[in-house]
């Protein structure tokens, strides 16, 4: 693209490390093109989260998404936070308005939208990282009962302080049936690991309506295990799509309809 064409466009990027795998540029550029919006979305490898704010302004950006491991750094970099981002301490969408940076978390509402079709009430999380934290809060606010399990104690403390039922895998006893079992860990992302001991999965999956993974782009051992038990499954692609739609609406000052953006971005993910 010529420099003068770029000057006429609003610029966006995704910051992360690594960032080469991200589908966000594809989704956003496809939507810009098909909605006739003058935007251009790239990707930026960022090693130091503390450099996020300076880099954002140096690149002349209008907005950005932030992925692993900089969501907490993005939270720190913003001047204004929406209520939910402030509550969960993690930002994955930043928009510049005048010279201020506004921060949002669209991962959690994206996940909430993605699980709507499962008609669940009781949800069991395997994993207690940053993504689990934001989604547990939004699910509870929306009326779901969320139980959070993790392989180690450390990250569970904050959930317990916030009133969630928590347990490490070794000390967990199911309290009735859980409608939805969710892999919120990164187990299976780069390895062939199940997120929890097989015996635990065998205790909860048979009574579940469905199993969901937040990892996308591959069939994880967790999803293969759930399928072998005859359960409906979904990977993290729908969450990715939905968080992207909500981010796009922030980037473009809500001038487009959610459904229209969703339809276009869904097509982009099939490319
Ligand atoms: P964090 O690093 O904050 O947390 C990782 C969690 O996974 C911890 O609970 C950790 O347990 C657990 N864990 C890691 N490896 C294993 C393992 N081998 N076995 C069991 N538990 C393990 O990660 P995030 O919360 O940021 O991300 C979690 C996942 O969500 C990632 O796979 C990421 O790609 C995905 N994601 C998907 C999105 C989408 O749009 N689909 C959006 C955002 C994230 P411990 O505390 O014991 O270390």
Ligand 1 and 148: CB distance under 6 A:
no
Looking at residue 61, which CATH number applies to its domain? 3.40.50.10860
The predicted-structure confidence for 148-169, as pLDDT tens digits, reads as follows 999 999 999 999 999 999 999 9
Read off the pLDDT of residues 63-122 as tens digits, 9 standing for 90 and up.
Answer: 999 998 999 999 999 999 999 999 999 999 999 999 999 999 999 999 999 999 999 999
Whose CA is closest to atom 45 on ligand 1? 152
CA 207 from centroid of its chain's CA atoms = 26
The whole-angstrom distance between residue 225's C-alpha and the CA centroid of its chain comes to 23
Spacing, Cα 60 to ligand 1 middle (Å): 32
Q: Report the pLDDT averaged over residues 171-185.
A: 97
What's the 7 CA to ligand 1 centre distance in angstroms?
38
Ligand 1 pocket test, candidate residues 15, 127, 193, 240, most atoms within 8 A of CB? 127
**Cβ count within 10 A of residue 257:** 10
Ligand 1 atom showing the smallest separation from residue 188 Cα: 18
- Global pTM reads 0.94
Select from 68, 44, 69, 42 the least CA-distant residue to 55: 44
What is each CA distance from 230 to 24, 120, 140, 165, 233, in whole angstroms? 32, 18, 28, 28, 9
Residues 139 and 84 in one domain: no
If asked whether residues 25 and 82 sit together in one domain, one would say: yes
Q: Is residue 91 part of a domain?
A: yes
Q: Which of 9, 71, 218, 219 is catalytic?
A: 71
Domain total of the chain: 2
Dihedral angle, C-alpha 206, 209, 114, 25, nearest 10 °: 30
Does the CB atom of residue 155 touch ligand 1 within 6 A? Answer: yes
187 CA from centroid of ligand 1 (Å):
7
DSSP 250: H
Within a 10 A sphere around the Cβ of 208, how many other Cβ atoms?
24
Give residue 8's domain range.
3-105+238-268
Alpha-carbon distances of 146 from 43, 76, 181, 203, rounded to whole Å? 34, 28, 10, 17
> Are 151 and 242 in a shared domain?
no
Task: Assess contact for 229 and 73: CB atoms under 8 A.
Answer: no
Same domain, 65 and 144: no
Q: Is 71 a catalytic residue?
A: yes
């Amino acid at each position: 693209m010529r420099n003068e064409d770029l000057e006429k466009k609003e610029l966006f990027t995704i910051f992360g490390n690594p960032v080469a795998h991200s589908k966000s540029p594809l989704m956003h550029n496809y939507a810009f093109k098909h909605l006739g919006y003058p935007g251009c979305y790239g990707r930026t490898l960022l090693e130091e989260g503390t450099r996020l704010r300076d880099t954002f302004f140096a690149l002349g950006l209008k907005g950005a998404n932030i992925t692993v491991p900089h969501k907490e750094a993005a939270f720190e970099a913003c001047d204004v936070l929406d209520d939910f981002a402030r509550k969960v301490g993690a930002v994955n969408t930043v928009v510049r308005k005048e010279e201020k940076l506004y921060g949002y978390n669209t991962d959690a509402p994206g996940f909430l939208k993605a699980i709507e079709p499962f008609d669940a009430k009781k949800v069991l999380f395997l994993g207690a990282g940053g993504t689990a934290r934001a989604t547990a809060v939004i699910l509870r606010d929306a009326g779901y009962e969320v139980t959070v399990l993790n392989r180690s104690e450390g990250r569970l403390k904050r959930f317990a302080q916030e009133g969630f039922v928590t347990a490490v895998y070794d000390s967990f006893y199911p309290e009735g049936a859980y409608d939805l079992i969710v892999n919120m860990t990164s187990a299976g992302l780069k390895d062939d690991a199940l997120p929890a001991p097989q015996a635990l999965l065998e205790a909860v999956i048979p009574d579940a309506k469905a199993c969901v993974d937040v990892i996308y782009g591959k069939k994880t051992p967790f999803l293969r295990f759930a399928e072998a038990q005859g359960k409906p499954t979904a990977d993290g692609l729908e969450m990715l799509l939905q968080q992207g739609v909500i981010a796009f609406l922030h980037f473009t000052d809500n001038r487009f309809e959610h459904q229209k953006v969703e339809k276009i971005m869904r097509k982009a993910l099939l490319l």
